[in-house]
Structure formats: structure tokens, C-alpha cells
Amino acid sequence: MNWIPSAEWPYQTRFFDAPGGRMAYVDEGQGAPVVLVHGTPSCSTEWRHVMQRLLPRRRVIAMDQLGFGQSDRPPDWRTYSYAWHRENLRAFLQHLPAETFDLVVHDVGGPIAMPLVAELGERVRSLTIVQSWLWDLGLDGSFARNRSMMGSALMRWAYLSWNFSPKMMVKLAWGKRVPLTRPLHREFIDQFPTKESRAGLWGFVRALVDEGATASLAPESARLVATQVPTTIVWGRADGLVKPLHLEHWKTTLPHARYVELADVGHFPQLEAPAEVAALL
């Protein structure tokens, strides 16, 4: 793992044989467990500054979803559907030796993990949603207008051959509180050094374009509300991609949740405001 300094990730990598491949994860510390589910274009290391603050008093479990980090990366981007990721995460959580845990999701980790909340029942003590959603992103008119372009052959080339997501999308999504320094930006880029390593990135775009269009996640949203799990929603309002209109939709969907809004933070609160995120957990 060469994208961050080893001193910032001194944890033992473990592996779990998920249905879709070998999944890397870390399981560190003592205390009440918290499970961290990352988004794109990233992996479990996006939580490292939060983990450093939690580990003195919490057990922290963070996995790399298949296609990311140190997990296996199946080469066919068609593999990477929401349902496939969800099956792998379900198997991991069933394997996890923890009776109960707090669940934290970021970005596409939300539509993967949140539909599992209802079936996990009392195992989930609380849910923290960081810059995530559970509906078609076409709720945002600009995404709806650009849906066909997002799923085009040109964008597939850009994602697979040019590494478009870490190179460009991260910059568009970053906030104002802390600068996106060159070393920090390289952290995202260096995780995906080859065309073959980027299949998961493009797979997520296709899931957003194709599966989101069916609105198949809408019933899961209702199930999530019905579980009445104590929920906190953390939102960086300076995110240029997943915009505050999604925060407003959460407020309508989950009116009784706790809301923490960070005016100058973008799409990665766990990297841009780790002290605030850790304090909430």
C-alpha cells in the first residue's frame, strides 16, 4: 500500500473470503465496535484520521470494498453492481465477531450498506450517514440532464484509461476548510495506477446511472425509516458534487435524525474535518 505514509496506517491487514473475492480489512482497538464503510474513489484509509482519534476507546473495523484498496479487484466492471457489493458486505458483517456495532457509511457506501440495516436489526446500535444517499441521484437536475453523458463510452475511457475520478472528481468535491494539497490528491490517484485497477471506479458510475434510474432503492429508504435506528447525518455543504439538496431530502425522509452541517467542508468530512466526525462517534 504505497498511497499513504506507513506511519499513518500502522494497522494489521486481515482478509475475509467474501462471495466476490478476498476482502481486506482492519480490526483494531478495544471497546464498543464501530464499522466504517468507505466510498469512491477511495478505500478504508480515508478514515485514518478518524480512527486515530477513536482507537483509544473504541474497536474500529474498516474494510476495503472489492475493487478498492487492498481487496481483490475483479477486472470486469460489469461485476460491480450495488447488489453485488451488498452481498459481499452482508457476508462480511455476518462473519464479524461483534454482536452489536455502530455503522458509519460514506458516499456509495450508503446505498450498499443502508439497505442491510433493517435485516441486521438490533445488531446496529446507531447509523451515521456521511455525504451519502439512498435514492436516484437524478434528484439533482444537473445529474439527470447529464445521465447519458455520464454513462457514455467517452466517460468509460476517461475513467478507465485516464483515471478521471481521482484526478477530477475529487477536486470538484473538495471543500474550503483545508487545502487539497498535492500529496493528499496523489493519495487518491495512486490507489488506481492501472486501467485494470480502475474497474471498480467505473462500475460505481454504471451503478449510479443504471440502477439509480430504476429507483429500486426507494423501498429500502422506507425500510430504513421503519427501523428507527438512532441516526446522525453529517454533511459538508461545500461539496460540489453531492449537493445540499440531498441533505434537504434526508431531512424530509428522516425528520427525527440528528443533523450536523459543516459549511466549509466538502465531500470528505472524515479527511477535511476528522475531529468533528470522530467526536460524533
HEC profile for the chain?
CCCCCHHHCCCCCEEEEECCEEEEEEEECCCCEEEEECCCCCCHHHHHHHHHHHCCCCEEEEECCCCCCCCCCCCCHHHCCHHHHHHHHHHHHHHCCCCCEEEEEECCHHHHHHHHHHHHHHHEEEEEEECCCCCCHHHCHHHHHCHHHHCCHHHHHHHHHHCHHHHHHHHHHCCCCCCCCHHHHHHHHHCCCCCHHHHHHHHHHHHHHHHHHCCCCHHHHHHHHHHCCCEEEEEECCCCCCCHHHHHHHHHHCCCCEEEEECCCCCCHHHHCHHHHHHHC
Q: For residue 72, what is its C-alpha cell?
A: 481483490
What is the distance between the alpha carbons of residues 65 and 212, in angstroms, rounded to a whole number? Answer: 20
Per-residue pLDDT at 188: 97
Per-residue pLDDT at 177: 97
What is the distance between the alpha carbons of residues 78 and 171, in angstroms, rounded to a whole number? Answer: 26
Which residues, 6 or more positions from 57, have their beta carbon under 8 angstroms from its beta carbon?
Answer: 29, 31
pLDDT tier for residue 218 given thresholds of 50, 70 and 90: confident
* Whether the predicted pLDDT of 180 surpasses 70: yes
Which residues, 6 or more positions from 241, have their beta carbon under 8 angstroms from its beta carbon?
Answer: 169, 172, 173, 267
CATH superfamily of 6-280: Alpha/Beta hydrolase fold, catalytic domain (3.40.50.1820)
**Residue the block writes with cell 437536475:** 141
Domain boundaries along the sequence of the chain: 6-280
Per-residue pLDDT at 229: 92
Span of 7-11, 109-113, 138-142, 194-198 with lowest mean pLDDT: 138-142
Q: Give the global pTM.
A: 0.96
* Whether the predicted pLDDT of 172 surpasses 80: yes
Give all strands of the β-sheet with 59-63 in edge-to-edge order: 14-18, 21-28, 59-63, 33-37, 101-106, 124-130, 231-236, 258-262
Mean pLDDT over residues 189-201, rounded?
97
Per-residue pLDDT at 189: 98
